Amino acid sequence: MDYSNAQLIDDIVLVAKEDSKQNFFHSSHCVEALVHAEGQIGKALEILFCKYYKIENLPKSKNLNKLDLNDLLQRRTEEKEALESIYGDAFIEKIKNQVWIIKMKLGYLINENEENIKNKSNLFQKDICRLYLQGKCRFGIKCRYIHQQPQSIEKSKTKKDTYFILEIRFPEDCKYPYEPPYFYLHTNEASFSNLNCLRIARKLYNEALVFCENGIPYIFSLISLLENEHEIHSYLKNNKEYFLDQYKCLFPKFIEKENDGPSHYKKGSINKKNRNEIAISNIIKQNNQIKIKFINKQKNLQYLKMMEARRKLPAWTKIQEVLKIIYENQVTIVSGETGCGKSTQIPQFIFDDWIINATKEHEHIEIICTQPRRISAIGVAERVAAERNECVGDTVGYQIRLESKVSDNTRLIFCTTGILLQRLSTDPQLKSVTHIIIDEVHERNAESDFLLMILKQLLQQRPNLKLILMSATLTTDIFSTYFGKIPVLDIPGRIFPVKQYFLEDIMEISNYVLQEDSKYTRKVKDSFELLNIHVEKSNPKILTSIIPKDKVLDENLTLPEIVGRYSKYSMITHKNLYIMDHEKINFELIEKVIEWIVDGCHNYPQIGSLLVFLPGISEIMFLKDILKDNRILSQKLGKYLIIPLHSSLSNEEQSLVFKKTKDGIRKIVLSTNIAETSVTIDDCVFVIDTGKMKETYFNSNQNMESLEMCWISQANALQRMGRAGRTMPGICIHLYTSFRFKHSFLAQPIPEILRISLEPLLLRIKILYKADNIDLYKSLEMMLEPPSQNSISTAIKILQNVGALDPNCMLTPLGHHLAALPVDVRIGKLILFGAIFCCVDSALTIAACLSYKNPFVTSFEKKREVNVKKKKYAIGNSDHLTILKVYKKWIEINSRGNDARQIFAHENCLSIQTLQTLADIKHQLLELLVSIGFIPVNIKKYPTGQDKVLECTGIELNVNNDNYTLLQGLLCAALYPNVVKVFTPEKSFQMQFSGAIPRQPKPEELRYQTKEDGKVNIHPSSINSCVGFYTSPYLIFQEKIKTSRIFIKEVTMVPVLCLILFSGSGIDIQLHNDTFILSLEDGWIMFAVESYRIAKLLQCARTELVKLLQQKMEDPLLNLLNHPHGKKIIKTIVRILTDG
């Protein structure tokens, strides 16, 4: 921190317990002065001096204006040099020509102070019963003396350690020695009266006024006066001056009222229609129109053609059973294999039955069908709309984040689970909804399990509400039991069989040979030469009789045991299984298998798509690069189309898998487990299953997520197999052994609720159940499979750290707003603070990137180029601010037209699609801020993909948009306590022509550490991964994840002042070796300040900011720009951060 305008002396003053002894000036006055001085601490201290001693309005002599300032400064310099020669190290010029300090031993003041304390102690002890102390008093409560132990009197410092410090401050344009400077006296003796310090400083000031008449430098004379025991004692004895009352303001109230604007905003509006507010008469009218259209549709050829296709689905054969079981039961489970048509047909069965048989009792219908992923919500909605020969958005629509295609006519809505949960927060009874269908319930994602818990309770309040659970597996017992032994209806799958091959089979069929020097082999005990000899000389009959135990995995078997377990296979396959690393994904084998499928000698179809299941996008892109250069499979040959499929891809990119290719071109789809259930590729014939997936696990003990590659479950494997054979017999090739499938795989995947952090769910519980005293532990016990108590406790602690919950687990005003925002709580806090500190647009940009993804392309082949482009825009050692800078540049270029836009995006490795999505997310977040009252604007409908946030919110709400230091502070407020401390190596020097200079540390020499987890590493994608020097030793981060090591992602360096003012931790003021320290997190974060008063002023500023934020959270429409203190407090905080 640079104190060039506000350097103060080392106030060696301990923090006293009593309020009256906390500071020389009352803390309320300190805050008021600091606000008035707009964060300038030196100026604030001068204001306090003037106000306490009532000298601010004293007239100045006009003759002083004629004095030569340079001459006066020269005389001041000469006096300083004289004092240095007299007092040596006891005299210090802290700020040139502004602040002098003199360290003094004033033993007479200490002696008198100790005597007073001793007298008070003796006086008090006279009143204590001596017989009581000896245990002999017989008078009991009637005794005239006190029956209690004497209080110990804290020993003061020894005389040797006790000293006083005189600070002399020369205000700006001070005409010393013709004008007096300001005096402040302090001591490190806590028991010495602060009031006496103020009185002595007054004495020095009065004497200075007398000396000013002569115009001769007089500081030495005042020091001599201070050392005069008789003079000072006499003054203190006869002078009992008291100063400004702590309850009296420094400035009259009317001065702070800068304008007569409204105290509250008028709540803004958003251009959205509430479906619940549609009049009943309109609904009935629309229903009649829907029925008429349906009747007319029965003669439409296209509709009839679609009906023929629908009748071929296995689900059609169960139409009457489906309707009967739903009619007779409030909750129903429908189990059907992949491809049976349950996702598309059952919602239509219900809808069509209502159209045909609607009664007055059931004159309205609204069906909501949830899907676990947005791609499936869109895909199923489009398919159902096509089958009904209508456009999406008529009677059939979908609603996902950032995209909605529904109308007043829509009666069947496909949406993500999160959308329905969000609707429940505003419409807890789902008043207009008649049927809820939860598809893919077997996937057991956290939101789906949570929704089941909510609906189970809602069903008791709404007996007419129907709930249908749909599962692609037969493991429905857990759901049936949860809802009280409800009926289950099974629908058979398609009749086309799927042939299964396991690893040992495909190696045998394709004649695959794993080379000994391949990166896919593991270390074996014997050399490969000995192994080959052993293979050649082995007697197969003897080896096949060796049968290992089922508990032993393949990779732990000896070669003879491998032969025994897989006795029907060749020795080449045995050797492959023995030397291969089973944990690695063998891309060489995948390539070989794909070649065999499309160009091998077999009787399987030479048509149809191939679907390859891989764990993540990195593996997808790696395999894509391999296939791109393959002599048979390359897209350049025009025979194959390689399509990646991953949840991070845009809707348009994902939709490529559904499009039919030209004759003679086959699709090779490389997908994660998103294609297990959410995506159906109709022409898929071949499936290659690597047996791996990536899952996020949250370690509640370490408060850390880890993205781990793991084996799939048996249920996953069967789902993958079911993707083949949609239109003809299919083939599924599992790249793991049959033994692993039968004996090692779990039957079902681990439910997501048991492996993720729970903060979002806890906030949902608090907002859905209005009772503040709801027990979070008991609430989650009602889930299908409750999470651990430890996971709940960790989530509660995180929410308390961000200020969403108070110590009693009650929802705070901030928590109410965070719960209303469908984003991570930290991102929600960022946009709320952005609104308060008038940097709405920048805060929303950063929030959009954190909640979605950054705008750089994710292509592996451009990974290095992307890192170079990031560094080009790097600013403030911050990933967040760097992305903000890139986005702002994009907005600037975007206004120049399409050509400029395309060139800029290409040159900087940016995804235009992602940038346009970020613009949409910003608008959605803005709508949320408006709906909860934080932003007083009216939002009109905006063009998709265009960023109109800055234009919509205006200049006043964005005055600090480009204040990057403030944004670092807001990021600190949002992400705290995600703090990392930077440790540098010991200093070393390198020789230059001018001599030895300190050597800059290399990036790899720095060490990063969090308070809880110890050592961490900056993720290679961060601009800080190659940084060797930081101006602040603290970083904040968005995410901590464990892969090969513990990495932190989305990292920003933060100045220590940001931590002091915006962290969620309490601030302690401590004294270490005569230096005052601001301490956070029990000393883990420490910041040295020049004086106790600076520490106290910063602490007070933080306190006032917290109070102001609390007011705003409790009253979102509060206009801080017209608030009596609000504007000044915010302006002061901004000034401290910017100039500090």
Residue 965 confidence class, pLDDT cut points 50, 70, 90: very high
Tell me what pLDDT residue 153 has.
39
| Joined tokens for residue 1020 | 């290679």
Query: Taking residues 805-809, what's their average pLDDT?
Result: 88
Most confident range, picked from 195-204, 246-255, 505-514: 505-514
Residue 20 confidence class, pLDDT cut points 50, 70, 90: very low
Q: Cβ distance 171 to 56 under 8 Å? A: no
Q: Nearest 5°: CA angle at 341, between 312 and 655? A: 110
Q: How far apart are the first and last CA of the chain?
A: 6
Full-model pTM: 0.70
**For the stretch 298-328, what's the b/e string if a residue is b when 16 or more beta carbons lie within 10 angstroms of its beta carbon?**
eeeeebeebbeebeebbbbebbeebbebbee
Residue 10 has pLDDT above 50, yes or no: no
Q: Cα separation of 1094 and 23, whole Å?
A: 11
DSSP letter, residue 521: B
Query: Taking residues 844-859, what's their average pLDDT?
Result: 86
pLDDT (tens digit per residue) in 569-619: 988 999 899 999 999 999 999 999 999 999 888 888 888 899 999 998 889
Query: 463-477, 577-591, 786-800: which has the minimum mean pLDDT?
Result: 463-477
Residue 254 confidence class, pLDDT cut points 50, 70, 90: very low
| Joined tokens for residue 754 | 């048991």
Residue 668 has pLDDT above 60, yes or no: yes
Rounded to 5 degrees, φ, ψ at 462 are -125, 80
Q: Cα separation of 30 and 44, whole Å?
A: 7
DSSP letter, residue 787: P
Residue 859 confidence class, pLDDT cut points 50, 70, 90: low
Residue 861 confidence class, pLDDT cut points 50, 70, 90: low
Tell me what pLDDT residue 500 has.
94
Tell me what pLDDT residue 544 has.
59
Residue 980 region by backbone torsions, left for phi larger than 0, else alpha for psi between -120 and 50, else beta: beta
pLDDT (tens digit per residue) in 748-779: 888 989 988 898 899 888 888 765 578 899 99
| Joined tokens for residue 258 | 């800068």
Q: Cα separation of 136 and 138, whole Å?
A: 6
Residue 485 confidence class, pLDDT cut points 50, 70, 90: confident
Tell me what pLDDT residue 792 has.
92
pLDDT (tens digit per residue) in 191-221: 787 788 888 988 999 999 999 888 899 999 9
Query: 192-206, 699-713, 904-918, 1040-1054: which has the minimum mean pLDDT?
Result: 699-713
Q: Cα separation of 673 and 267, whole Å?
A: 44
| Joined tokens for residue 79 | 């006096």
The mean pLDDT of the chain is: 83
Residue 2 confidence class, pLDDT cut points 50, 70, 90: very low
- In sequence order, the β-bridge partners of residue 397 are 413
In the sheet that holds 684-689, the strands lie side by side as 498-501, 730-734, 684-689, 609-613, 666-671, 640-645
Which residue has tokens 């002399």? Answer: 168
Residue 786 has pLDDT above 90, yes or no: yes
Query: Taking residues 88-101, what's their average pLDDT?
Result: 89
Tell me what pLDDT residue 360 has.
67
Q: Cα separation of 1108 and 1120, whole Å?
A: 9
Residue 150 has pLDDT above 70, yes or no: no
Q: Cα separation of 326 and 322, whole Å?
A: 6
Distances (CA, A) of 553 to 14, 80, 527, 543: 67, 84, 22, 18
Question: Nearest-CA neighbor of 77 among 104, 102, 100?
Answer: 100
Q: Cα separation of 977 and 808, whole Å?
A: 20
| Joined tokens for residue 433 | 């909804």
Tell me what pLDDT residue 334 has.
94
Residue 523 has pLDDT above 50, yes or no: yes
DSSP β-ladder status, 730-734 and 995-998: unpaired
Q: How many CA atoms lie within 13 A of 688 on its CB side?
A: 26
Length of the chain, please?
1140
- Alpha helix positions (H), 358-470: 374-387, 417-426, 446-461
Tell me what pLDDT residue 968 has.
94
Query: 13-17, 437-441, 850-854, 1087-1091: which has the minimum mean pLDDT?
Result: 13-17
Distances (CA, A) of 975 to 93, 650, 968: 40, 28, 10
* Other CB atoms within 10 Å distance of the CB of residue 140: 8
Query: Taking residues 1051-1080, what's their average pLDDT?
Result: 83
Per DSSP, the three-state class of 34 is: helix
Q: Cα separation of 214 and 339, whole Å?
A: 104
Q: Cα separation of 644 and 251, whole Å?
A: 67
Tell me what pLDDT residue 7 has.
32
Torsion angle in degrees (nearest 10) through CA of 712, 718, 720, 723: -170
Question: Nearest-CA neighbor of 56 among 22, 28, 73, 33?
Answer: 33
Question: 806: buried, middle or exposed (CB in 10 Å: 19+, 13-18, 0-12)?
Answer: middle
Q: Cβ distance 1117 to 264 under 8 Å? A: yes
- Alpha helix positions (H), 436-548: 446-461, 477-482, 503-510, 528-537, 540-543
Residue 157 confidence class, pLDDT cut points 50, 70, 90: very low
